[in-house]
Chain A
Amino acid sequence: MTSSARSSLASWLLKLTSIAACLLVWQAASKFRINLGVVTFTNVPAPTDVLEAAVALAQSSKVFDHVSSSLRRVGVGYVIAACLGIALGLAVGRSRRAADLLLPPLELLRPIPAVAWIPLAVLMFPSSEASMIYITFIGALFPILLNTVHGVENVDARLIASAQSLGASRGAILREVVIPAAAPSIVTGLAIGMGTSWFCLVTAEMISGQFGIGYYTWESYILQNYPDIVVGMVLIGVLGMGSSVLLRWLGARLTPWNNLEGARR
């Protein structure tokens, strides 16, 4: 075994030990019902209880309903946000007039956290399904929009000038130069937007959901199925991380020139 392989093995062992230690502390804290005054583990389920609950949920049919309703809501809200955010971002970044027309209302709405929309969204949309989709949409829209604008505004002016000198029309410049040049920034916006839309969805589901992981987590609290709360939390984390990883992978596939090794001489 080479020394670098040995040191990387040692590093992995250390990392695993660290996770194991955390789980062990958690297990002990909840088993002995430690009460530190400010924070208490009296009602916190132990990791072993959580594992048991997770296995039980995996074996029931409920899990499919919860996960699929959440995925559907995120899917619809996020896709609308992505389409609208990229389209608006390209328009605002490319045209001064579009920026003057579109940016002021967007700038006014931007500081309002998506979660603050929940009560109004419930009033605005007769179906609670639509209100939750709206919340995920609002959550994803701004990161995607702003990163697209940023990407478009930072396109090297020399690239655009060169394209003009090579005979490119306005439309061709958008397709052939601006969009590919802004692509890495757009992908970043899409990844951030994915995170925020999950975050917003879970919150929305806790308040007005019928199925869904956020609803499941909150329902477990109401019904005092404490281990299920943690199962819900873990599920939310896994789904959020999974979709972000998927997105970054897709982004890397779409922008292969971005990950090249340096110049050879």
Chain B
Amino acid sequence: MSGEERLTKPELGRIEAEHVSIRLGFGHQAFEAVQDVSFDVEPGELVCLIGPSGCGKSTLLGALAGHITPSGGTLKVDGLAVRGPHPDRGIVFQHHTLFPWKSALANVAFGPKMRGVPKAERKRQAIEILDLIGLGDFADRYPKQLSGGMQQRVEIARVLVNKPRLLLMDEPFGALDALTRLMMQELLLEIWARVRTTVLFVTHDIDEALFLADRIIVMTPRPGRLLEIIRVPFVRPRPAEIVATAEFGELKRHCLELLRGRQNGFPLPRLSPLGSPPQS
């Protein structure tokens, strides 16, 4: 297979989840966050996970990142069981986790630095990715000096510089204003068209999922089980206007019915990809 072909159709980044269950918490506070979930994701596919808050979609993402160990079932990436965090499986959090003491450039160059890439080379790589996400001019800024959207873009660049097989995103645009969110979604599709890594994207925004995904995995409220997998038929590249089409509206209604029919009682607190439920 030639390099060019690999660029358009990657061979790495296959996810196989078989009967995955995840328990969180200790003692009598322990609960099952994910229950018997099975699905496959093709290399280079963009799959969105949606479900009510607290349903364990972020937990599943954290397990794929290697920060949480499933209590049952197997979770494989390219045939190998996930064991601990690895740069092949990059994760992007809802609120950025950039190192405040490093410039945007040094943040992006962190992964190569950890691999022992020489200084000049890792700087070159970081600048290349920063240019790709349109922040080449902001390389010397500290995270605090960037807007929320820019911070999230640098966070994505920091993961992409490692050429990961999986890009795991936990509601990455959830804290941004509507307009910035739309820009970020378009940017993500643009980057994904070029980098072609497998993307697993957690969101509770149905519009976002329909706009981005090849397939949508819908999960039930806690304990999170797989409810339905929806194939999104829209051709790419997708213009932002597709949200106004009848077909989009139809799919959205279907998703809403799936989620609404299952919602019982009050929404649960959000879970974190790092395991324990947030304190506040």
Contact = CB atoms under 8 A, between A and B. Distances in A.
Given A165-B90, A167-B162, A159 B97 contact: yes
Interface in A158-211: 158-159, 161-169, 172, 176-177, 180-181, 183
B108 to A, nearest CB: 10
Task: Provide the main secondary structure of the chain A interface.
Answer: helix
Nearest to B146: A263
B97 A161 contact: yes
Nearest to A158: B97
B244 interface: no
B172 to A, nearest CB: 13
A97 interface: no
B139 interface: no
Q: Which of B86, B99, B158, B274 has the most CB of A within 10 A?
A: B99
Which one of A169, A181, A260 has the greatest number of beta carbons of chain B within 10 Å? A260
Contact of B86 (A159, A163, A167, A264): A167
B125 to A, nearest CB: 13
A32 interface: no
Contacts of A263: 144-148
* Secondary structure class of chain B's binding surface, majority of residues: loop
B93 A166 contact: no
B110 A157 contact: no
A175 to B, nearest CB: 11
B111 A166 contact: yes
A265 interface: yes
Nearest to B272: A158
Contact of A156 (B85, B97, B273): B97
Contacts, number: 80
A163 B110 contact: yes
B91 A176 contact: no
A164 B144 contact: no
Contacts of B224: none
A1 to B, nearest CB: 34
Interface string A250-265: 0000010110111111
B62 to A, nearest CB: 8
B66 interface: yes
A260 B102 CA distance: 12
B181 interface: no
B101 interface: yes
Given A166-B162, A167-B111, A265-B147, A260 B142 contact: yes
A157 B274 contact: yes
Interface string B182-196: 000000000000000
A180 B98 CA distance: 13
B219 interface: no
Given A159-B99, A165-B66, A263-B148, A172 B89 contact: no
B171 to A, nearest CB: 13
Contacts of B44: none
Nearest to B148: A263
Given A156-B97, A165-B66, A172-B114, A262 B158 contact: no
B74 to A, nearest CB: 21
Contact of B93 (A162, A164, A181): A162
A157 to B, nearest CB: 6
- What are the 10 A-B residue pairs with the smallest beta carbon separation, nearest first? A164-B85, A167-B87, A167-B114, A162-B97, A180-B101, A165-B85, A166-B111, A257-B101, A265-B147, A260-B144
10 contacts: A158-B274, A165-B89, A165-B159, A166-B111, A176-B110, A180-B99, A257-B100, A257-B101, A263-B148, A265-B147
